[in-house]
Amino acid sequence: MNRGGLYEFVFDPAQVNAALQPIWTSQPELDQIGVFHSHPDHPAEPSVTDASQPYLSGWSNVIVAVHEGKFKEARSWYRETEDSSFQEERILVG
């Protein structure tokens, strides 16, 4: 959604749950631990829009910075509740 030059995302939690339910049913050993989204031409850190989304609480939030259409960096952020601040998490690949 574009609001005055700023883009924001919106998703319906019921739709997300409906889409993930078949996976949870068929592969109960899997856990969803986070969400992933990109920030085109903006830093890989939580935006004001991200901070206003209560459903991003309790998840690892991997944010990818894409500058001029190319990957720049990926960083992960976590906050316990919607009232707490995001804290950066280390991303370990191994």
Residue 58 lies in a domain: yes
Q: What residue type is 53 in one-letter code?
A: Q
Residue 42 lies in a domain: yes
Residue 25 lies in a domain: no
CATH, residue 60: 3.40.140.10
Listed range (8-22, 37-51, 71-85) with the worst mean pLDDT:
8-22
Q: How confident is the model at residue 94 (pLDDT cuts 50, 70, 90)?
A: confident
Domain that holds residue 41: 32-94
Helix (H) and strand (E) counts for the chain? Answer: 2, 6
CA–CA gap between residue 14 and residue 72 (Å, rounded): 32
Residue 24 lies in a domain: no
Q: What's the structural domain count of the chain?
A: 1
Residue 39 lies in a domain: yes
Task: Locate 76 and state its tokens.
Answer: 């992960």
| pLDDT, tens only, 54-90 | 888 999 999 999 999 999 999 999 999 999 999 999 9
